[in-house]
């Protein structure tokens, strides 16, 4: 039997809580890592504990010119990013890929941005700063995992919006949340695709 709330053509529901709980837990780990880094950068704590590369190496990374390209330390940016992960990752129900596509897409933008920044900073550690920071690497790994686990939901939402547009629906209303008529049409779409039949054309 087909699982309720499954996007058409998908073998799992990317908005299900069993999927989202994983990257929300990862976001908590990332938030703690970013908060710890921020505390060191803002001199709230004297030095970072780094059992692999040493405190001096972590200091060189977290107090480098690259870490202070913004008006505030990059650790603060990480705190903000992971908080957004938790907020937008928690919004909506288990079918939010169609009940709240806007939340899924904003979440995708946040995790993509964090992933890109983490990758860039990791490359900079080895090529420009030439020092490493264990906590920073943990944060980068967390961002990468969240991106890999969470980006599928945005794809399901984009497919849903594409179907709504093909039926002549308003993309704006579909983005904000689906109607009961759209719910019925998605069920019809699933039934036809499962049977290998061609989807009938709906009027506008």
SS3 for 60-101 is: HHHCCCHHHCCCCCHHHHHHHHHHHHHHHHHCCCCCHHHHCH
Query: What's 27's domain CATH number?
Result: 1.20.1440.130
- The domain of 85 spans 17-157
**Residue 196 or 19, more confident:** 19
Range name among 1-10, 88-97, 116-125, 190-199 with the lowest pLDDT average: 190-199
Let me know: does 101 contact 157? Beta carbons within 8 Å. yes
Q: What is the pLDDT of residues 132-185, one digit of tens each?
A: 999 999 999 999 999 999 999 999 999 999 999 898 888 888 998 855 445 555
71-121 pLDDT, tens digit per residue, is 999 999 999 999 999 999 999 999 999 999 999 999 999 999 999 999 999
Q: Do the domain assignments include residue 180? A: no
Closest CA to 62 of 79, 78, 74, 44: 74
Question: Is residue 98 in a domain?
Answer: yes
Number of separate domains in the chain:
1
Q: Please check whether residue 184 lies inside any domain of the structure.
A: no
Question: Is 204 part of any domain?
Answer: no
């Amino acid at each position: 039997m087909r699982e309720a709330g499954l996007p058409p053509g998908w073998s799992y529901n990317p908005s299900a809580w069993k999927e989202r709980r994983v990257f929300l837990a990862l976001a908590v780990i990332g938030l703690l890592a970013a908060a710890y880094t921020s505390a060191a950068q803002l001199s709230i704590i004297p030095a970072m504990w780094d059992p692999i590369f040493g405190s001096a190496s972590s200091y060189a990374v977290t107090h480098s010119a690259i870490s202070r390209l913004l008006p505030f330390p990059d650790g603060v940016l990480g705190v903000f990013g992971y908080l957004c992960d938790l907020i937008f990752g928690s919004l909506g129900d288990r079918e939010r890929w169609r009940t709240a596509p806007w939340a899924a897409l904003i979440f995708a933008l946040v995790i993509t941005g964090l992933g890109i920044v983490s990758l860039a900073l990791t490359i900079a550690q080895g090529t420009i700063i030439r020092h490493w920071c264990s906590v920073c690497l943990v944060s980068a790994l967390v961002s990468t995992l969240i991106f890999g686990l969470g980006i599928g939901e945005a794809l399901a939402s984009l497919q849903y919006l594409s179907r709504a547009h093909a039926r002549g629906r308003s993309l704006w209303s579909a983005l904000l949340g689906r109607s009961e008529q759209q719910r019925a049409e998605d069920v019809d779409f699933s039934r036809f695709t499962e049977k290998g039949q061609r989807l009938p054309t709906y009027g506008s």
